[in-house]
Chains A and B, each alone.
Chain A
Amino acid sequence: MSSVLYDAQGPRAKRRNFLYTAGFLVVLAAVLWWVYKGLDDKGQWEWVLWKPFFSGTEAYSAYIWPGLQNTLKAAALAMVIALPLGAALGIARLSDHAWIRVPVATVVEFFRAIPVLVLMIFGLALFAAYTDVSSDDRPLYAVVTGLVLYNASVLAEIVRAGILALPKGQSEAAMAIGLRKNQVMRLILLPQSVTAMLPAIVSQLVVIVKDTALGGAVLTFPELLASANTMSAYYGANTIASFTVVAVIYVVINFSLTSFASWLERRLRQGKKSTGAVLGVDDTANIAGAAGTGIAA
């Protein structure tokens, strides 16, 4: 769409665009200079503050890598538990029986309406009050609980949308050859919808990875963001440097996940066996309902 918004450029348009480019460049340079100057005035460009990240591996082996391991552990655990739970909820929501469909729908909409941080705080207090999980393990348990409760309901919606996106002819043909309802679901619809949902599920992983940072900031879970804090304390208050490095790591991980999901989506859409039903990366954010999925913290 964007390329049809303007004509092929003639000499005047080229001149105008050159002026816009120059103007924007000046503004951008001014902002960058202002940032650079601001950091310089506070002595933030001192090599001492940045040195730990460029020479030797100590900052990585002592702080960043253990934090990253915890981040990935929590994200992986949450995904592995939430996926089957979400699939079950999603299928239950498509049930023909109102006494299954309605309660499940209520549960799903409820957990999607509540911030994941609230669920994590609830989890932490729950494990402290009613279980004998040691206080060291509690933050991990709480983070995973919060992520599972929230993402299971999001994944339930993805599963439901994936099944509904399949062409109607698939289940009609299956019924025509005399399969039962659960056979249609198990043999025909689910296997196809799994491929259709893959890109959406991978991009939901980005949301999970980002949400683990809440555990570090509020629940004392020692993940990647929390490691930036302890690190900057150890290396003499190099907050800016530590946060920059941590942010770059998040961007690298999540950007590769997003790119992988888009690649998967393109491949599935072009595939010869495809029914044409693919739940894309953007669809995660647009699945109807009161959730705003895909945009979580």
Chain B
Amino acid sequence: MFDFLDKYDVLGAFWTTVQLTLLSAAGSLVWGTLLAAMRVGPVPLMRGFGTAYVNIVRNIPLTVIILFASLGLKDTLRITLGSDQVDTSNFRLAVLGLVVYTSAFVCEAIRSGINTVPVGQAEAARAIGLSFTQVLGLVVLPQAFRAAVGPLTNVLIALTKNTTVAAAIGVAEAALLMKEMVENEAQLLLISAVIAFGFCCLTLPTGLVLGWVGKKVAVKR
């Protein structure tokens, strides 16, 4: 029944999906945290930049960003991110697009984490003479991250699903493979079931495991 699968590299496609997810997750965690720090900081220009970035990027479809990375950056401006091979270059451009988009949501998740830290904590830290960087780095962010595991999990799961958008610029991941398979084979329901099962295997355990971790590490108040 499933013998048509022999012709296709299903595991390879899902491995690309996983790679896209992990690389973009790492990138957007760094950039998103920086954005969040800017948005709560004392420098008005940085606050303005952070707010503008989040509000603009959140409202543009990811598809537009990723397609722009391919048609605008690569084809028009010849920015190939250090690779002459089309596949590698597209993969890196997709990661870039995913990082640009996802970090706006990471920023908001961390900010919601910061909001759970009681005001008294920051006041006490200021009272003993800590500077803004120390208040944020030593007192607020460590607690905020523990509270932000839940929202960040949601962002990670959404990111896993959003990697399918890379199919729009021909990155050989699960959705592109599915498109190819339904065009060539007559077994629509079986193919869809396989792909759906693959995504369930990626997203549902992430939600369960990180949900448990989130409960475990959250500061009990």
Residues in chain B near residue A296, CB distance under 8 A:
158, 161-162
Q: How far is the CB of B146 from chain A (nearest CB, A)?
A: 16
Interface size range of chain A in the complex: 35 or more
The answer, yes or no, to whether A28 is at the interface (CB within 8 Å) is yes
Minimum distance in angstroms from B63 CB to a CB of chain A: 4
Q: Which of B75, B77, B186 contacts A38 (CB 8 A)?
A: B77
Interface flag for A291 (CB, 8 Å): yes
Assess the B157–A291 pair: CB atoms within 8 A. Answer: yes
The smallest C-beta distance from B97 to any residue of chain A, in angstroms, reads: 11
Q: Which residues of B contact A17 (CB under 8 A)?
A: 42-43
List which A249-271 residues lie within 8 A (CB) of chain B.
250-251, 253-255, 258
Q: B199 contacts A20, CB within 8 Å?
A: no
Q: Is the CB of A292 within 8 A of B154?
A: yes
Q: Answer whether residue B168 sits at the interface, using C-beta atoms and an 8 A cutoff.
A: yes
A246 to chain B, nearest CB (A): 7
Asked if B203 contacts A28 (CB within 8 A), the reply is no
The answer to whether A129 touches B204, judged by C-beta atoms less than 8 angstroms apart, is no
Please name all residues of chain A whose beta carbon is closer than 8 Å to the beta carbon of B126 when the two chains form the complex. 4-7
How near does chain B come to A128, taking the closest CB pair, in angstroms? Answer: 9
Are B151 and A250 closer than 8 Å at their CB atoms? no
B49-68 residues at the A interface, CB under 8 angstroms: 49, 55-56, 58-64, 67-68
Query: Chain B interface mostly helix, strand, loop or mixed?
Result: helix
Partner of A286, one of B123, B150, B199: B150
- CB-defined contacts of B29 to chain A, threshold 8 Å: none
Known: A20-B43, A113-B203. Contact between A214 and B63, CB under 8 A? Answer: yes
CB contact list, A1-53 vs B, under 8 A: 1-2, 4-7, 9, 13, 17, 20-21, 24-25, 28, 38-39, 42, 44
B76 near A1 (CB under 8 angstroms)?
A: no
Are A217 and B175 in contact, with the CB atoms below 8 A? Answer: no
Complex CA gap A109/B162 in Å reads 17
Query: Do B178 and A121 have beta carbons less than 8 Å apart?
Result: yes
Can you list, as one digit per residue, whether each of B139-157 has a CB less than 8 Å from chain A (1) or not (0)? 0100000000011011111
B residues 152-188 touching A (CB-CB < 8 Å): 153-159, 161-162, 164-165, 167-168, 174-175, 178-179, 182-183, 186, 188
Cβ of A62: which chain B residues have Cβ within 8 Å of it? Answer: none
Answer yes or no: B212 CB below 8 A from chain A CBs. no
B72 at the interface (CB under 8 A from A): yes
Roughly how many angstroms separate A207 CA and B25 CA in the complex, as a whole number? 20
A-B contact pairs, 17 of them (CB 8 A): A21-B46, A28-B49, A42-B78, A44-B76, A109-B204, A117-B167, A213-B62, A214-B168, A217-B165, A225-B67, A239-B72, A286-B151, A289-B207, A290-B203, A295-B105, A296-B158, A297-B63
Contacts A118-B192, A217-B67, A250-B59 given; 5 further ones with Cβ under 8 A? A114-B200, A225-B61, A225-B63, A239-B76, A293-B158
The 5 A-B pairs at the shortest CB distance, nearest first, are namely: A292-B158, A290-B207, A254-B59, A295-B158, A213-B61
Residues of A in contact with B (beta carbons under 8 Å apart): 1-2, 4-7, 9, 13, 17, 20-21, 24-25, 28, 38-39, 42, 44, 109-110, 113-118, 121-122, 124-126, 129, 206, 209-214, 216-218, 225, 229, 232, 237, 239-240, 243, 246-247, 250-251, 253-255, 258, 282, 285-286, 288-293, 295-297
On B, residues with C-beta under 8 Å from A are: 39-46, 49, 55-56, 58-64, 67-68, 71-72, 75-79, 105, 108-109, 112, 114-115, 117, 119, 122-123, 126, 132, 135-136, 140, 150-151, 153-159, 161-162, 164-165, 167-168, 174-175, 178-179, 182-183, 186, 188, 192, 195-196, 199-200, 203-204, 206-208, 211
